[in-house]
Each structure stands twice: as structure tokens, then as C-alpha cells.
Amino acid sequence: MNLTATSPSAEIDSDLHVDARLWAGINPEPARRLLLAALKSFASRGFHGTTTREIALLAGVSSAGLYTHYRSKHDLLFQISRASHEFVLRELQKEFVIEGTPTQRLVRLVRAFTAFHATHHTAARVAQYELRSLLPDHFAVIVNVRDATEKVVREAIRLGVVSREFDVDDVDTTTVAVLSLGIDVARWFNPSGPLTPVQLGDRYAGLALRLVHGAAPAKSVNSSRTETGLAS
Amino acid sequence: MNLTATSPSAEIDSDLHVDARLWAGINPEPARRLLLAALKSFASRGFHGTTTREIALLAGVSSAGLYTHYRSKHDLLFQISRASHEFVLRELQKEFVIEGTPTQRLVRLVRAFTAFHATHHTAARVAQYELRSLLPDHFAVIVNVRDATEKVVREAIRLGVVSREFDVDDVDTTTVAVLSLGIDVARWFNPSGPLTPVQLGDRYAGLALRLVHGAAPAKSVNSSRTETGLAS
């Protein structure tokens, strides 16, 4: 396992079609073809490095044809980002409402969140990296979905703290760390690596449990702080 | 604290000058000015969305002037990436050789790694996001530095396992998770957020200790596996 698994020339479209549910709302078929062409282009050359002409060409659609389905290149990015963000929110919400202990719920959430970012690493990477390229109105819509996603994980951790099943110093930092671990999978995951998305999801669920269960020995942190003169 | 702290229009050059040591090797002054202009442009429009003409203009240097310092836009990206990657490697190597227990060493490494990615979030983000834009020869150089960085953290974790101070299921996955948490800070860190880079480094050091110290309760993971039918 390596954090630099993908070389510059590596194939980037391995996950474009892996879970048809992700793009199920994008119809008719030429609209979906254009969206996948945009995704592939944004992933390899970035949003600002891609033209609508190149997207239309890759999709085998005329430029005029592109504009019957999308208003602009920004619109294409928004649809990619919205489909990805709403898909992962729905997945987490489904896991959240299943009966179980806080530990069981967190395991299910982290497993689903990690597996999504591994399986759909190209879509997730574009959704994350190009957040700043969204138009302000589009950005506001995506931020709402992201806030809702973050809220599901925070609430799962909070409920475990309330029931004393979890022992967490700071719910906010732990929430950010759990989400961050999952999101960053989209950056480094390599489908030809040693772990499948589901296997990685299981390992990361185990790590998330360590974050909420295991109390760090304050003694060691403090002694180290003193040692490096960083005591506050 | 929020994983979507930066709006599309937010200022992106807040960290361009924060630690002069990062760019200390980039001389003379016009070369450094060009490098910072390239960094700012790549961060806002991506490598492929930026021209050398725009970089020269932003740096207040003629296009001909740019080519006396850099061979190409790829060269600029390589110098940014190399400076960032080599800086963080040196920081970790310095921390690694200081005497201490495995716990103290890991705390120092995670604190330095996290604080770097928070302080230099723009440089770190460009270095990470544009890895695929590097030319193959440049990419090979950077991969060597990344492998060396990963090796420092893996060795710190391995030594703690050998001394039985750490209890880790899988050194590789834990190494990836510790590095991934730190790297992803560059994506979401907001200098106007509640935590300074050093404070975040302290919190993340505490979380890293949980990852290597706290044994996840196998019972809960297993019962959840059975429940969702994912038992292998």
C-alpha cells in the first residue's frame, strides 16, 4: 500500500462506471455520456484546463448537443459534484437509521464512507478538488449537502459519547478526522492495490473505533510537550 | 471546524510566505517571485488552467525573464513540489533522530507533519493535487522523496510495535492512515478557523496515539459484520 500509487499516465477512468446508482439520476443517455466525459477531463486536466469542446468531442456529441443538456462547463461540474455528494449522504443516512449500538453504527458509517471514496475515487476526487471552481450558487448547494453529511457522522459520535460507549476528547476534531480519513482515500486509492474498497472499509472502521474508544495516554503527550518546549 | 471552510472566492495566498525556510533554496529573488506566482496560479486555476504568460505577469517579470530561471511550466511545478516534499521530509527526519520513546517520537512526527500541512496548506495542496501533472522524470524524483517520508513514519510505528509500546493490527494501514490524516489537512485547513497549526498538530498527535495504542473491541466489529452479512 502506497500513498502515491497512481503514476501520471495511469488510467483514470477505471471507476467511471462502477456503481450505476451514482449516475442513475443523470438522463437521457447522451447527458450521462457528456457527464462522464466531463468527469474524465476534469480528473486529468482540471476544470480550468478543460473546454466544453473537448468534453463534447470525448462524448461523441456536437457542441450544440452539449448545450441542450447543460448550460455550461460550470453546470457539468455542479452536476458531477451534486450527484457524488448526494449519493454519499443518502448512503450514510441509510446506515444511520439501522438499529444498533453506537459502535455498530459508526462501523457501518465508516465502512460505507470509505468504500464510496475508494470505489468512486475519480468522481470523489473531482468533487473534492474542484470545490473552489464551483459558482457561488452551486457551491452553496454543495455545502448544504456536505454539512448534512458531516452532521450524520458527528451525531453518530455524539450518541456514543452520551451513552458512554465512546471516550472522545473533542467531538469536532474526531468527526473531522473520521471524515478526513475517508475523503483522502479518493486521493490515493489504487484499484490494483492490495485491498478492495470493502476490505479497506473494514480496516478503516477498525481505525475509527480506535479513535473513539482508545484513550490516549496523556502522560506521554505531556512529557513530550515538555521535552520539545511546546508546553502551553 | 468544518471540512468545507474555504469558499471559492476565498484568499488563497495566505500561506505563501509563512515559513521562509520552505523557499530558502529558491534563488535569486525573481526566481522566488515567479515560483510564488506559479503556486498562486496553480492553486486557483490548476496546472493545466494556467499559462507561463499569466505567471510571468503576476510575478512582474517578462516572459523571457521567466525562461532564464525555469525551463517550462512543468519545471515550475516540479520546483514547487520538490521544495515542499523535501522540506517535510527533512522536518520528519530531524524529529525522528531525537531520543525518546516510540510514543514521544510519533507525537513529534505527527505534530510536525500536521503543522506543516496546515501552515503551508496552499503549497501542500498543489504538491498533492498536481502530482499527476508532473513529467515522468520529475514524478520519479518526487516519488522517491514521498517513499522516504512514508518510511520514516512506518519505521516509527514499527519500532513501537517491536518494543510492545504500540498495539497495531496492520502497520501498513496504520502508516497510511497517519500520513493521510496529515496530508488531508492541506485540503480543509482554514487559517481563520478555531485551531492554529500547532494546536491542530497537538490534537492530531493525540489521535495518532489512539490509532497505535487503543485496541478496537473485536466483539463489536464482528457483531456488526454479521448483522450486515459482510462476514468473510
> What is the full per-residue pLDDT of chain A (232 aa) written as tens digits?
566 655 443 434 445 556 678 998 899 999 999 999 999 999 999 999 999 999 999 999 999 999 999 999 999 999 999 999 999 999 999 999 999 999 999 999 999 999 999 999 999 999 999 999 999 999 999 999 999 999 999 999 999 999 999 999 999 999 999 999 999 999 999 999 999 999 999 999 999 999 999 654 443 444 443 333 333 3
Q: Which three cell numbers stand for residue A127?
A: 468533487
Residue type, A221: V
Name chain A contacts of B111, Cβ cutoff 8 Å.
230
With a CB cutoff of 8 Å and minimum separation 6, the contacts of B226 are none
Contact A108, B228 (CB under 8 A): yes
Say if residue A217 is preceded by a cis peptide, omega within 30 of 0: no
Reported pTM: 0.87
Q: Give the C-alpha separation, B44 to A223, whole Å.
A: 41
Name chain A contacts of B89, Cβ cutoff 8 Å.
none
- Rounded average pLDDT per 10-residue block, chain B, 232 residues: 51 55 90 95 95 96 96 98 97 97 98 97 95 96 98 98 94 97 96 95 97 62 38 34
Residues 28-67 of B with CB under 8 A from A: 44-50
Among all residues of chain A, which has the CA nearest to that of B102?
A220
Among all residues of chain A, which has the CA nearest to that of B203?
A173
Alpha helices per DSSP H over B97-170? 102-119, 121-129, 136-162
Q: Give the C-alpha separation, B121 to B190, whole Å.
A: 9
Inter-chain residue contact B223 with A104, CB threshold 8 Å: yes
Q: Is the ipTM of this complex over 0.90?
A: no
- Any A CB within 8 A of B114 CB: no
pLDDT in tens, A1-58: 566 655 443 434 445 556 678 998 899 999 999 999 999 999 999 999 999 999 999 9
Q: Give the C-alpha separation, B219 to B106, whole Å.
A: 28
**Number of Cα atoms under 13 Å in the Cβ half of residue A219:** 2
Q: Give the C-alpha separation, B86 to A232, whole Å.
A: 29
